[in-house]
Amino acid sequence: MEQQALPRHIAFIMDGNGRWAKKRGLPRTAGHRAGTQNVMKIVEHCGDLGIECVTFYAFSTENWSRPAAEVNALMSLLGEFLEKNLMRLHTNGVRIRILGEASPRFGEALTATLHSAVELTKNNTKMILNVALNYGGRAEIVRAFKAMHADAEAGKLDFDAVDEKTVQDYLYTAGCPEPDLLIRTSGEQRISNFLLYQLAYTEFVFTPVSWPDFTPERLDEALRDFASRSRRFGGLDKESKC
């Protein structure tokens, strides 16, 4: 696939882990484990393709309402993923960033692991791996405007000069191109409070395949779909006279 046809930034909503497990008579935690194991395959494939940035919706602010046992399992799996793959990601030039509010509910061990991952990889430049954790799109926008207000009050920001670029610079994703492509697995067709500001001109691919079964080959199919689309950003095709 030609480089110019590839997205610079792909965002993933990894849906269907629980349903994948249920179909196999397994507990939901088994589905989450299978889904977590799949992340590295997709990250490495994106790296091989030269994708600049990938963002994974790992845990939303609304996910705290799930049963405590499932939440604890998800946090444990995230910690395991980082501990197992951190040096591999670092060696491959991947910078890890966490999108979302830090929470004492992560626990000391996971908080320390997240901090170590971010610090170790902060100067890497091959690819950015964003992990959206305790993340909500509306909360992100509120946080950005509060930060702008505080900087304006402190004389660090001319509020009358605020434009769209300024807002982008106060979002968690500052420094990343906006997502060119959003992929959501398992058949759901909504964005679920994810990257609300950033998805203004993103192309969407919704696939019925559950996340644990979303292989690099499935990603290539989505990328071919993306490459076939005409992205006009509100304008007209160059060839169009209408």
Active site residues: 15, 63
For the sheet with 181-184, list strands across it: 94-99, 127-135, 53-60, 9-13, 181-184, 203-206
Helix (H) or strand (E) holding 92: none
**Spatial distance between the Cα atoms of 9 and 201, rounded to a whole number of angstroms:** 12
Q: Which two tokens stand for residue 37?
A: 């194991």
Backbone angles phi, psi at 26, to 5 degrees: -110, 160
Q: Is 197 buried (19+), middle (13-18) or exposed (0-12) by CB count in 10 A? A: middle
With contact defined as beta carbons under 8 Å apart, do 120 and 86 qualify? yes
Q: For residue 33, which of 46, 20, 47 has the smallest C-alpha distance? A: 20
